[in-house]
Structure formats: C-alpha cells, structure tokens
Chain A
C-alpha cells in the first residue's frame, strides 16, 4: 500500500541529500567571487567538440577536456593565481551561460562578431584562423571556388561563425546542427554536400575520419579571429585576460598549442566491434546513466507529488484554485519541454538572478513537466473512484482530506498505475533533453563518445540500448507493484 505520509518526508530527505551531494557550480562560483577561499576559481565554458581547440580525450579510462584553448585557459588561471574549472556545454549555450553568470569566461574558438559584442565583452584576439570548406573525399575536386556552392545544401554548427558564412552563400540551403560531429554526419550521409569549418578543426576531422577532404574553395573574409568572451562590463577580468594573452602573443605560444593539441588528437583507436567499443567507453556511459537515473528518479518523485497536489487543487471545488491548476497543466503540457528547460535555466538567471545549477534546472524541469501530465492522470483516477467510497468515509466522520488520503487516492493510484508507469517511462527518455544545457547525462556522454571516436553509429546505438534496458526494468518493477496493490482484488 502506498503511504504518502511516510513517503513525503523520505522524499524531502532525498532532495536535501541530492542538493548536498551536488552543490553545483553556482555555489562553487559564489565562493570564488566572495574571495573567502584562499584560491579563486575561474570557470571557463567551452564546447568540447572542436578539435584541436577543445575536445575530449580518454586518459587512463577517464574523459578529459583538452586542446589549445584549454592550454590558454590554464595560462590565464595560472597568471591570476586561480583554480581552473572547465564547463563543457553545447556551443549555443555558452553565451547564455556567460550572461547568466554560470561561467566566468568563454574560450571556445569564439569569433567576436558585432552581434555577440552587443551581449558580451571580448578580449583581444588570440588567434586568427582560416575557414575552409569540408566535403566528401570523392567530391574534393567539385568545389574549386565558392561559386560552386551556390544553391547547395550546406551544414554548419548552430550559432557558430560558420553559420553566418554559410548564410552568406547565395541560395545555399543551410542546415545547422548542434555539434561538429553532427555536421560531419550530415556530410557523410549525403544530407549536405559541403560544410563550413574552421581550418584546424577540418584538418583534425580529415585526419581522423575516412571519406573527408578539404575543398579548394576558400570563403571570402575567411580570416576568423578568436577571442575570449566575458560578461559585459567585467573590465577587471578582461584586463587580466588581456595581459596573459599579450604574454602568449609575445611568446608566439598559441600556434604551438594548436600543433601540440593536434598531436594529442591522434584519434582514439575505437574498436570496430560494438561490444569492445562499449567496453572501452563504459566509463562514459556509467557516468551518464548515474545522472539519467538521478534525474529521472527525482523528476518522477517530485512530479508525482506535485501532480497529486495539482490534481487535488483541480478537484477542490474552489474556483480560483481550480483555475490555477488548469492554467498550470495547460501551460506545461502545451509548451515544449526544451523551452521550459531553457527558461528555467537561462531565462530565470538573466531576468531574476535565480541561478540553478544545470542539475537543479534539469530536475525542476522534469518534475514540473511530468507533474502536469501526472495531474491529469490522477484526476482521471480520482474521478473514477466510486462516489460511494467518499460518502462512506465521510459518513464515518472522516474529514475530506483524511478520506482523500486513506480511501480515495490509494484506489485512484491503483487504477491509474499503468498510465503512471507509462509517464515514468516517458520521463526516463525525455530526461535526455537536459544534455542540452550540459548535464552530463547518458545522452550527453553518448555525444561525448561520438566526438571522441569520430564514430557516428555505435555511441548512439549503445545509448539507445541502455535507455531501453532502463525502461524495461522500470516496466517490470511497476508490474510487480501493480500485482502487490491488487491484493484486494483476489476472488
């Protein structure tokens, strides 16, 4: 039997434990700013799929972010006497993270465009790269000049400088995707005929992945400067950064970093057999599964409780409460979860200075979203319980709340258990959306392995298989629970 009274304190304890175990980046940063620690921490955001500037590498079975930008970051941190912390996230999440104060700076091969300058401040340039056109090896000769690209499908990374270049090609059909490995997949699967790439990045891809070549065509104005982004108005930090950059420029160090990084990026020797592949990268998946399970479990539990509360408000008979509940349900069911996630993570931070860690934002979004669906499921269950049950309970003198808790809700939950189970399975799968803001969940790690190995298929198939195992186990557990709850039905 479900005993809410016992479960609620347990859940609260669990939540506190979670928050204690994962103090999150927001707090770590606050410590650094206030200077209470002897050593300051600077948090550098980057999108680690941009070899040789920043990419993942497996060192002693553990994944590590390396690259020339990382070496620059290390220099800056050393000059400032601060501890360096790297935050890996999708490229188009970097500036929102910076603006919402989650990271101190972005060193991610970022070009200081006028558009970006409106939102953040940039350091002096630290490197100027050339843009190139990446294409399939067999098409290498097809594009001697940019004119041949007109009207063709072209792939780029969302929010990147390459996207702007692609958009300036007349009639080009530009497809923008989240990561560099996605762009390469587009190219190799013939969905686009060419892709605009940073020179060294393209070289790294050609080196590590068969079937790619760099075309002769060179984008106009292809000189792409790179600079470090900081939050608007943070002049002190900018001065510190610029002094380090000046030193590096004087030493002509950046070119050397890029060469060194390119050598590091010799390409992982990924096994060709999917089982050995999985075994080699099991550490990534294990890390990801932990987060996915944590997110789903807490999302389900809080979603369950909030959903129950909302369904009770909806059925309370008090008009204003009912309206609030209906509005809550409709808004959360009627808007994409990704939008909700971004509003909670970035929107609240920039508008109200409410900074949740990525994990907190993920849990909150999953809880709220599932609570709306569960509220409707509970409502159906509660309304499905025979009216005589409430009357019998009330006739014994039970107040409405007690009758609800002990008589109606247990029966309601029992009758909608299959629907609840369905929703739980949905949450496990939908939790993959949090990889968007940089929670290192299963999906995120699968992408990391993809970038690492230049392999388009295995990392995703393995992730899919692990999701499947988790949902199957959950279904099985719910079957057991259903059987136990049906004790009263034995005839």
Chain B
C-alpha cells in the first residue's frame, strides 16, 4: 500500500533521514520505535508529505505521491493522521471538528456527516460530547476525538505520531484501546510510539530506527524477543 524508497530528509545541513526503505501492506499494523531524534516522527510525516522529502520516493497505492505534480490533498483524504498534540480545532464543537472535512471535501451533506460522526463517536464512547468544545475535554477524550475526526474521512491508512505521549498516564489506556480495536477491524496503521507493550501486542511488524535509518525490522517476537542489532538491544534494555 505504501512503499518508501531510499527516503532522505534534511533540515538545512542536518540530515534526519538517511535513506529509508519500507513497505506497508494493506491491513498491516506497523509500529515504529526508536530513541528520540532517530527520525521516526519525520519518517511518518514524510509519508503524507507534511514534511517534503529531499530525496527518494514514496508510492501510495501505486502512485508516486512525492512527485511535485501529484495532488497531495486528494491523497491525504485517504491517509488519516493523529498527532501527539491532538490538534483539534478549538473554535469548533466536537461535531464540527469531525464533520468539517467530510462535508467540505467528500461532498457529504451535513446530515450524512453528522450520522457518520455520531456512529464513530459512539464507537469510542463519546457520543455525549458532540456539542462540547475541545477545551472542555480531557486529553484522552481529545485524542479519541482526533482519531474519530481522521476516521470520518474513511481513510485507507492511519498514521499515528506518538498519540499517547502528551497524555497523563491514566488516560493512555483509553486511547490505546481505541487503536487496538481499529487494528482488530483490519485498518492499515503506521504508529510511532514509546508504548512498548502496545507495540508488542498490536504490531504486526516492528521497525526500529536509529540515526535516520531503519536498523532492524521484524515481527514483535523477533525484535523484542531476540533483537539482533546491538543498538536495538541497547535501546530495548533501557525502555523495557
């Protein structure tokens, strides 16, 4: 579904991604782990071109989306993204946050979009918050709404950029539960996270990044059970 070929990204002289090759299959849950500064968030943000790559190529469903002429807006409709800082629109109600893009971009009527939003809100247990403003919600609630907002576009893949890092510990669980359910329903997901337990439980495949490259990849059993690379071993010994 997504294939990254020799991805490179530099901020000025600082090269953050030094040639990344990765394939994400349909229905697969890929978890990207690694120390801070390893480039994992940058890698994820390159996938929907929130960061423009400085080298290499990304194919999404067979199309080269890194091509300058490619209409990235249309592609982003199919790639949901969830941010560390939630980034809900503070001046809009929960319902408006969710229905804005479907009505403006997919041509849904307000009624259709509302129906879709309410069903999704119900699935994350927040149907009673639809008229609330983001400032009235807890962090965990905000992140669940942010996930619903992305899902309302019915994306083919979901990108999660450290979705639980900004949460109080007691709220991490509710967000991970939503993500787990999403994985069970067969959603293709790319997740950057520090939640090793979650990675192990939900991930189909683990990518370990360090210094702007993928150092090791494999099933959770392989990476967590018997890491081959010394840097992976070093990292896991510190976080587990």
Contacts and interface: CB of A to CB of B under 8 A. Distances in A.
Interface residues of A, number: 25
Interface stretch (A29-37, A237-245, A395-403, A464-472): A395-403
B48 A395 contact: yes
A411 B89 CA distance: 9
Chain B at the A interface: mostly helix, strand, loop or mixed?
mixed
Given A396-B105, A397-B77, A488 B90 contact: yes
Contact of A395 (B50, B85, B92): B50
B60 interface: no
B13 to A, nearest CB: 22
B87 A488 contact: no
Interface stretch (A97-105, A196-204, A321-329, A383-391): A383-391
Contacts of A397: 73-78, 101, 105, 153
A286 interface: no
B85 A406 contact: no
B101 A391 contact: no
Contact of A394 (B50, B100, B146): B50
A488 B73 contact: no
Given A488-B134, A490-B135, A491-B135, A398 B73 contact: yes
B192 to A, nearest CB: 14
A393 B96 CA distance: 13
Most buried by A among B81, B87, B91, B153: B91
A488 B133 contact: yes
Given A397-B153, A402-B104, A391 B133 contact: no
B136 interface: yes
B148 interface: no
Given A402-B104, A406-B104, A396 B149 contact: yes
Nearest to B134: A488
A1 B80 CA distance: 27
A15 interface: no
A487 B133 CA distance: 8
B58 interface: no
Contact of A396 (B85, B90, B101): B101
Nearest to A410: B91
B90 A411 contact: yes
Interface in B46-72: 48, 50
Contacts of B100: 396, 406
A4 interface: no
Contacts of B149: 396
Which 7 A-B residue pairings sit nearest by Cβ, starting from the closest?
A397-B77, A392-B87, A395-B81, A388-B87, A396-B101, A488-B133, A397-B76
Contacts of A251: none
Given A394-B76, A397-B73, A402-B104, A490 B133 contact: yes
Interface of B: 48, 50, 73-81, 83, 85, 87-92, 100-101, 104-105, 133-136, 146, 149-150, 153
A402 B100 CA distance: 11
A399 to B, nearest CB: 5
Given A392-B87, A396-B105, A399-B73, 19 more contacts: A386-B85, A388-B83, A388-B85, A389-B87, A392-B89, A395-B79, A395-B150, A396-B149, A397-B105, A397-B153, A398-B104, A402-B104, A411-B89, A411-B91, A487-B91, A487-B133, A488-B135, A490-B136, A491-B135
B149 to A, nearest CB: 7
Given A488-B133, A490-B133, A391 B104 contact: no
A414 interface: yes
A392 B150 CA distance: 9
A394 B146 CA distance: 14
A478 interface: no
Nearest to A486: B91
A411 B87 CA distance: 13
A1 B104 CA distance: 17
B90 A391 contact: no
A114 interface: no
Contacts of B85: 386, 388
Contacts of B77: 396-397
